[in-house]
Amino acid sequence: MRVAMIGTGYVGLVSGACFADFGHHVTCVDKDAAKIAALERGEMPIFEPGLAELVEVNFRAGRLAFSSDLAGPVRDAEAVFIAVGTPSRRGDGHADLTYVYTAAREIAAELDGFTVIVTKSTVPVGTGDEVERIIRAARPDADVAVVSNPEFLREGAAIIDFKHPDRIVVGSDDARAREVMAALYRPLYLNAAPLLYTGRRDAEVIKYAANAFLATKVTFINEIADLCERIGADVQEVARGIGLDNRIGRKFLHAGPGFGGSCFPKDAQALVKTAQDHGASLRIVEAMLAVNDVRRRAMARKVAAALGGNLRGRTVALLGLTFKPNTDDMREAPSIALVTALQDMGARVRAYDPAGMEQAKAVLSDVDYCDGPYACAAGADALVIVTEWEQFRALDLDRLRDAMTKNPVLVDLRNIYRPEEVVRHRFIYDSVGRPRPS
Ligand SMILES: NC(=O)c1ccc[n+]([C@@H]2O[C@H](COP(=O)([O-])OP(=O)(O)OC[C@H]3O[C@@H](n4cnc5c(N)ncnc54)[C@H](O)[C@@H]3O)[C@@H](O)[C@H]2O)c1
């Protein structure tokens, strides 16, 4: 099957490469000509495990191509995916649909023969209707079906997630479109990933509801962690105890510095706006966003408390800056508000991240960027684990302590160390939702 993927960002590139790997012929299109040129040279615009190899194999096999012009690829395609960004609109938090609607107009101009237009971008309910209206207005002659097919991949595990989804949601009532979608996803379907056919509006809501639910789960355990700190309980035991209940489930119950990333914050915000516009109230989602928002600065106060309350003139070293491991994505990373709060309190900030330093430099200034965890710890009063990269899980604690000032502090915002062990290495240690060791 011939596929045009409009937008070659995180989702477009991963989806395009995976569809090509299934045997389809995919052209990934992007307006960013420099990105397309780099991809043709084999350079990846993002850090994502396994992606470079997947792209190379399929590019060489002639199943994956890149283009900065959508005309030819759209004309040839049986399915055209819209995978452009839908960032938060400045000022009001609605999803900014400018890129989606522009793409729809550009696609309309090139349509030839029956074409399924698939919205993979995360878009508010009703966007599919508007995409269809735009296309029919521009090309009354065109034979199209507009489908919603939201994407649930996680950055850092994007290829595995795309190839082994819990479900594939296809929002369309059109029988021909459903057939095309089934053919596209056939390899996954054969592997027993359920293909869930819904109405288009249902599919649009499913994506937002899923993200809002997961973000709420994270935020719930973060508040339970705060309670545990006050009453001397251990949030990890509590999370295990509730997570073993199948009705609750173990995932997304890790207390930490608050969620971030390119999806949860903007999607939850957009969902609230959609609800308000339709006169429905989503108070749980609103509360969840507010709780998460204040949490990052609260983490800075936790660091200050571990250092005796005053950060002026102190040096704080951060390990990890990206919003999660195995990505270089800094969008809405908790580290951004944390660094700003530490600087506001008078601290000097040093930092190291295995993949996100270039992206971080674009959003965080006045930070000393270091070459590795030990260089980062040099001369610091406190070391803060912000992102749980594998390489931070078995650090040489003696070496770290020797590099730091007297009475060093380790604040573990991801609970990856055992308190007794860190204290044995003569650190003052604090983590999230666990009793502070004496
Ligand atoms: N990143 C994730 O983990 C993830 C997961 C699921 C869903 N989503 C959703 O998928 C969508 C895309 O997210 P992303 O992270 O891949 O975005 P991104 O910003 O990384 O990439 C979007 C790309 O689209 C290109 N683009 C914009 N308009 C274009 C046009 N008219 N023609 C060609 N190219 C165009 C941009 O140049 C950019 O390269 C968003 O709606 C997002 O919410 C993202």
Q: pLDDT tens across 275-293, in order? A: 999 999 999 999 999 999 9
Residue 291: exposed, middle, or buried by beta-carbon count in 10 A (0-12, 13-18, 19+)?
A: middle
Element (H, E) at 407: none
| Mean local confidence (pLDDT), 111-130 | 98
pTM for this one? 0.95
Three-state secondary structure call for residue 136 = helix
- In this predicted structure, the answer to whether residue 436 has a pLDDT above a threshold of 90 is no
Element (H, E) at 39: helix 33-40
| Mean local confidence (pLDDT), 199-208 | 98
Cα 68 to ligand 1 centroid, rounded to whole Å: 15
Of 51-60, 85-94, 254-263, 307-316, which gets the smallest average pLDDT? 85-94
Residues 294-330 have pLDDT tens digits of 999 999 999 999 999 999 999 999 999 999 999 999 9
Ligand 1 mutation pick, 6, 8, 11, max ligand atoms within 8 A of CB: 11
| Mean local confidence (pLDDT), 173-197 | 91
Residues 21-74 have pLDDT tens digits of 999 999 999 999 999 999 999 999 999 999 999 999 999 999 999 999 999 999
Q: Which residues are catalytic?
A: 263
Cα 364 to ligand 1 centroid, rounded to whole Å: 23
- DSSP string across 307-354: TTS--TT-EEEEE--SSSTT----TT-HHHHHHHHHHHTT-EEEEE-S
Please state the length of the chain: 438
- In this predicted structure, the answer to whether residue 191 has a pLDDT above a threshold of 80 is no
Sequence-distant (≥ 6) Cβ neighbours of residue 196 within 8 angstroms: 167, 168, 169, 170
Sequence-distant (≥ 6) Cβ neighbours of residue 136 within 8 angstroms: 142, 144
pLDDT of residue 314: 98
| Closest residue by CA, ligand 1 atom 43 | 122
pLDDT of residue 90: 86
pLDDT of residue 23: 97
| Closest residue by CA, ligand 1 atom 13 | 85
Pocket residues: Cβ below 6 A from ligand 1 = 6-12, 29-32, 35, 83-86, 99, 102-103, 106, 121-122, 151, 153, 155, 262-263
Residues 223-237 have pLDDT tens digits of 999 999 999 999 999
Token pair 């095309």 in the structure block, residue: 180
Instruction: Identify the CA nearest to 80 among candidates 53, 126, 113.
Output: 113
CA 204 to chain centre: 18
Residues 345-378 have pLDDT tens digits of 999 999 999 999 999 999 999 999 999 999 999 9
Please give the number of the atom of ligand 1 that sits closest to the Cα of 121. Answer: 41
- In this predicted structure, the answer to whether residue 438 has a pLDDT above a threshold of 90 is no
Here the tokens at position 142 are 């065109």
Ligand 1 mutation pick, 18, 39, 44, 84, max ligand atoms within 8 A of CB: 84
Please give the number of the atom of ligand 1 that sits closest to the Cα of 262. Answer: 1
Cα 45 to ligand 1 centroid, rounded to whole Å: 12
Radius of gyration over every alpha carbon of the chain, rounded to an integer in angstroms: 23
Please give the number of the atom of ligand 1 that sits closest to the Cα of 158. Answer: 3
- Please state, in angstroms and rounded to a whole number, the distance separating the CA atoms of residues 172 and 361: 43
- Please state, in angstroms and rounded to a whole number, the distance separating the CA atoms of residues 4 and 301: 49
pLDDT of residue 71: 98
| Mean local confidence (pLDDT), 161-186 | 96
Q: Quickly count: other Cβ atoms within 10 Å of residue 25's Cβ.
A: 19
Residue 14: exposed, middle, or buried by beta-carbon count in 10 A (0-12, 13-18, 19+)?
A: buried
- Please state, in angstroms and rounded to a whole number, the distance separating the CA atoms of residues 334 and 341: 11
Instruction: Determine phi and psi for 188, rounding to 5 degrees.
Output: -75, -35
- In this predicted structure, the answer to whether residue 393 has a pLDDT above a threshold of 90 is yes
Token pair 């650190």 in the structure block, residue: 427
- In this predicted structure, the answer to whether residue 126 has a pLDDT above a threshold of 80 is yes
- Please state, in angstroms and rounded to a whole number, the distance separating the CA atoms of residues 435 and 227: 11
Token pair 């040093």 in the structure block, residue: 350
- Please state, in angstroms and rounded to a whole number, the distance separating the CA atoms of residues 115 and 129: 16
Q: Measure the CA angle with vertex 361, ends 358 and 366; round to 5°.
A: 150
Ligand 1 mutation pick, 6, 30, 328, max ligand atoms within 8 A of CB: 30
Instruction: Identify the CA nearest to 413 among candidates 326, 330, 302, 314.
Output: 302
- C-beta separation of 396 from 423 below 8 A: no
pLDDT of residue 349: 98
Q: Quickly count: other Cβ atoms within 10 Å of residue 151's Cβ.
A: 22
> Where residue 84 falls among pLDDT bands split at 50, 70, 90?
very high
- The strand pair at 25-29 and 64-67 is best described as parallel
Please give the number of the atom of ligand 1 that sits closest to the Cα of 120. Answer: 10
| Closest residue by CA, ligand 1 atom 25 | 7
Q: Which residues of 222-237 are buried (b: 16+ CB within 10 A; e: fewer)?
A: bbbbbebbeeebbbbe
- C-beta separation of 256 from 245 below 8 A: no
| Closest residue by CA, ligand 1 atom 27 | 84
pLDDT of residue 189: 76
Q: Which amino acid is at 213?
A: F
> Where residue 91 falls among pLDDT bands split at 50, 70, 90?
confident
Instruction: Identify the CA nearest to 428 among candidates 412, 413, 405, 410.
Output: 410
> Where residue 192 falls among pLDDT bands split at 50, 70, 90?
confident
Q: What is the 3-state secondary structure (H, E, C) of 176-203?
A: HHHHHHHHHCHHHHHCCCCEEEECHHHH
Cα 11 to ligand 1 centroid, rounded to whole Å: 6
